[in-house]
Amino acid sequence: MKLTISKNELNDAIQQVAKAVSPRPAIPILGGIKIDVNHQYVTLTASDTDISIQSFVSVEQGDKIIAQIDKPGSVVLPAKFFVEIVKKLPSDQVAIEVTGQFQTVISSGSSEIQMVGLDPEEYPVLPSVDQNQMIQIPGDLIKSMIRQTVLAASTSEQTPILTGVLWNLNEGELKFTATDRHRLASRTTKVDLDSSYHFSNIVISAKTLVELSRLIPDQNTMVDVVVADNQVLFKVDNILFYTRILDGTYPDTSKIIPSSYETELVLNTKNLMDAIDRAYLMSREEKTNIVRLTTLESGGIEISSSSTELGRVTEQLDASQMSGQPLRIAFNSKYMLDVLKVIDSEQLFIGFTGAMRPIIIRPMDHDFSMYVILPYRTTG
Amino acid sequence: MKLTISKNELNDAIQQVAKAVSPRPAIPILGGIKIDVNHQYVTLTASDTDISIQSFVSVEQGDKIIAQIDKPGSVVLPAKFFVEIVKKLPSDQVAIEVTGQFQTVISSGSSEIQMVGLDPEEYPVLPSVDQNQMIQIPGDLIKSMIRQTVLAASTSEQTPILTGVLWNLNEGELKFTATDRHRLASRTTKVDLDSSYHFSNIVISAKTLVELSRLIPDQNTMVDVVVADNQVLFKVDNILFYTRILDGTYPDTSKIIPSSYETELVLNTKNLMDAIDRAYLMSREEKTNIVRLTTLESGGIEISSSSTELGRVTEQLDASQMSGQPLRIAFNSKYMLDVLKVIDSEQLFIGFTGAMRPIIIRPMDHDFSMYVILPYRTTG
């Protein structure tokens, strides 16, 4: 293997795949990044077995020559050092040559780096994914859907299935659901489909989805999604992102949502968030995060929290609309803030069916998302 | 105590003094911020006994009324919550009222916060400092002097005196020195003095000096420095910053500097820094940080490092000037990078008196700073 490549393009591709390298690889070769060179592409691959990322650098991009290939080939280079040294090389051009026994020489300007490479034949082969069925989602939409659901996924490995986000596709509606049994977030969107393609019980690690969103550029990109037996493949520009589907059956959450409410409120999202944020600061000192919401006879609501050591925060808020029974309810303010931060609507709806029943939160502008928080059982 | 004050001015003063609050205060009352209100100033005080910071907010600033004082008085409020809640208050104005038993009510817009305050009489009295003798240093100069010396201070509490920076004032020359016995940094400046004022063996914690520099604005400010028996007082704009002088006698470092050199180099600072930075990445993998510098017969130098696992980095550099004996020397690359990052000169001088003797580094543009690094004793 012998080539000369633009430092910036090589560095961009390295940074993209580097996210898949584990700091504690299961087998030593996964501590490396695999480089495959042919006359069309320089391909970088990294994997921690849960996720794998491949980035393809075209040798020619339009009129521009990105890489000069003298001899195709492959090698695996230790990731940590390779990732850091390439961005610090002195020249815009980097020459890479593999000599005997995978010894690799990287030259740039007056720097010469000899690296002990590893045998690419030992690198695990990426799973092949059948591309018969595919859905396409705009990049900024999938990023929003991820951001608006991962907050409710569990962070405890005691229930691995709940650390994921459930994906269902049915009658052209794609739905994401996450819950840790104390709260739930769901987000739907319409998908253009030629066929009656559908799937259910596809659960993808929330952490992995957050990694995926970081790879999706902010400007408009289409993301291709291919769901296979035990994994999902995402294609974003020149990147392939593979992730394992979590084992297990996701719990049925459809019965949580009440059909009618005893108390209904419409509130300004930002005002509610700021008030709960201040009450949260006080509640945090008690380690409980308990904040109370009380409807007032005057038509507004009161948000309050107290700490025996510190004192008390009391906030008065106007409601845009209010109907039903008077209410006094306690909840985890951190959970509520997580929801309020991702609600993309100036006004929101909150529905209650009593102080011990789930709290339902929806944006007023659209029906695509819904959040549920279980209240705290408190005295007084 | 009862007043209404502009939120921004109050918040700025709180953020300034908050740096002196310890997360684990020695006595409970030091977990608070003391507020003293009279008809001229609202004064905030915080202290962790090693450092104390006071910030003075003038009730009137020019034509602007910053605070409306209804009743002078004092109270101590728990720092952590107070620091965070004030910046999140909804209105530009904040009303603070102390009722019986130091119960404090903070009101802003539709927020009301009740806080359990503490008795200001229990708050330690700040030491009084005799202001007879004082030096004045421009803020940006003292910030540079701190930045260019603290890097060589020890971080080990085993030798407390070496965690400080030594200040000497003699014949109008102020000198900062820091050393951890492996490296040394010194920086001098001329100070305008009316008298023959001098001091020696004033040692101030490096960490404290870093805190002090963060309080000094970037635009031109004069810093007044008053040295007393066991402490130093800095006055920066509306802030008083008190620090304890470290106990003990600072070691004599004057004999480290050789009077002549066997090998002398003049190098481009940035090129040397970039080359050592790349070699450092490799040396770090070996946990030793060892990098070698070798003079070349062709007139330049070679910087290199190697790792049994990873490989080798080799860098060639031109020297602007080179004289004396050929040399091969090894040193800690992290120590050298720390020095190169603060050298404010395009070219630098390095002098050697042999592979086992101290390495001396100086900027070429001026004589105010000097750095020493002890070499590593290595084989081969």
- What are the pLDDT digits (tens) for A85-142? 999 999 999 999 999 899 999 999 999 999 999 999 999 998 888 777 889 999 999 9
What is residue B379's predicted lDDT score, i.e. its pLDDT?
A: 61
Q: What is the distance in angstroms between the Cα of A103 and the nearest Cα belonging to chain B?
A: 9
Closest CA in chain B for residue A300: B110
- A69-91 mean pLDDT: 97
Assign domain B2-122 to its CATH superfamily.
DNA Polymerase III, subunit A, domain 2 (3.10.150.10)
Whole-angstrom distance, CA of residue A56 vs CA of residue A51: 17
Tokens standing for residue A138? 């705009």
Q: Kindly list the residues from chain B whose CB atom is less than 8 angstroms away from the CB atom of residue A103.
A: 311
CATH topology of domain B258-373: Proliferating Cell Nuclear Antigen (3.70.10)
What is residue A379's predicted lDDT score, i.e. its pLDDT?
A: 61
Q: What is the distance in angstroms between the Cα of A318 and the nearest Cα belonging to chain B?
A: 10
As its CATH architecture, domain A257-373 has Box (3.70)
| Stretch(es) of chain B classified as CATH 3.70.10.10 | 258-373
Closest CA in chain A for residue B278: A85
Q: What is the mean pLDDT of each run of 10 residues along chain B (380 residues)?
A: 98 97 94 98 96 97 95 97 97 96 96 97 88 88 97 96 97 96 97 88 97 91 92 95 96 89 97 97 91 95 94 97 96 98 97 94 96 84
Which of A112, A285, A315 is facing B314, going by the closest CB pair?
A112
Q: What angle do CA A102, A107, A109 make, to 5 degrees?
A: 175
CB A99 within 8 A of CB A107: no
Closest CA in chain B for residue A78: B310
Q: What is the distance in angstroms between the Cα of A114 and the nearest Cα belonging to chain B?
A: 5
Asked if residue A304 has pLDDT above 80, the reply is: yes
| Stretch(es) of chain B classified as CATH 3.10.150.10 | 2-122, 135-244
Greatest pairwise CA separation for chain B in angstroms: 83
Work out the end-to-end distance of chain B between its first and last CA atoms, rounded to an integer number of angstroms: 74
The SS3 assignment for A211 reads: helix
Whole-angstrom distance, CA of residue B101 vs CA of residue B117: 8
Q: How confident is the model at residue A34 (pLDDT cuts 50, 70, 90)?
A: very high
Q: Kindly list the residues from chain B whose CB atom is less than 8 angstroms away from the CB atom of residue A113.
A: 278, 282, 311-314
Question: Helices A7-18 & A79-87, crossing angle to 10 degrees?
Answer: 140
Q: What is the distance in angstroms between the Cα of A54 and the nearest Cα belonging to chain B?
A: 24
What is residue B44's predicted lDDT score, i.e. its pLDDT?
A: 98
**The dihedral formed by the CA atoms of A320, A323, A326 and A329, expressed in degrees to the nearest 10:** -60
Count of A-B CB contacts under 8 Å: 94
Q: Kindly list the residues from chain A whose CB atom is less than 8 angstroms away from the CB atom of residue B275.
A: 110-111
Mutate to test the interface with A, among B75, B89, B105, B310 (most CBs of A within 10 A): B310
In this predicted model, what pLDDT tens digit does every residue of A244-302 receive, in sequence order?
Answer: 999 999 999 988 888 899 999 999 999 999 999 999 999 998 888 999 999 999 889 99
Q: Do A90 and B274 touch (CB under 8 A)?
A: yes
Q: Kindly list the residues from chain B whose CB atom is less than 8 angstroms away from the CB atom of residue A90.
A: 274
Q: Kindly list the residues from chain B whose CB atom is less than 8 angstroms away from the CB atom of residue A81.
A: 281-282, 285, 310
Which of B114, B311, B312 is facing A312, going by the closest CB pair?
B114
CB B152 within 8 A of CB B163: no
Tokens standing for residue A266? 């419409």
Whole-angstrom distance, CA of residue B207 vs CA of residue B162: 12
Whole-angstrom distance, CA of residue B25 vs CA of residue B331: 41
Q: Kindly list the residues from chain B whose CB atom is less than 8 angstroms away from the CB atom of residue A104.
A: 311
Closest CA in chain A for residue B111: A315
Mutate to test the interface with B, among A75, A108, A110 (most CBs of B within 10 A): A110
In this predicted model, what pLDDT tens digit does every residue of A321-335 receive, in sequence order?
Answer: 999 999 999 999 999
What is residue A131's predicted lDDT score, i.e. its pLDDT?
A: 72
Q: Do A278 and B311 touch (CB under 8 A)?
A: no
Q: Kindly list the residues from chain B whose CB atom is less than 8 angstroms away from the CB atom of residue A311.
A: 103-104, 113-116
For strands B111-116 and B103-108, give the pairing: antiparallel
What is residue A191's predicted lDDT score, i.e. its pLDDT?
A: 93
Q: What is the distance in angstroms between the Cα of B149 and the nearest Cα belonging to chain A?
A: 27
Which runs of consecutive H residues, i.e. helices, occur in chain A? Answer: 7-18, 79-87, 139-150, 206-215, 269-285, 333-342
CB B321 within 8 A of CB B261: no
Q: What is the distance in angstroms between the Cα of A150 and the nearest Cα belonging to chain B?
A: 26
Whole-angstrom distance, CA of residue A187 vs CA of residue A341: 15
What is residue B294's predicted lDDT score, i.e. its pLDDT?
A: 97
- A29-46 mean pLDDT: 98
CATH topology of domain A135-244: DNA Polymerase III; Chain A, domain 2 (3.10.150)
Whole-angstrom distance, CA of residue A102 vs CA of residue A116: 7
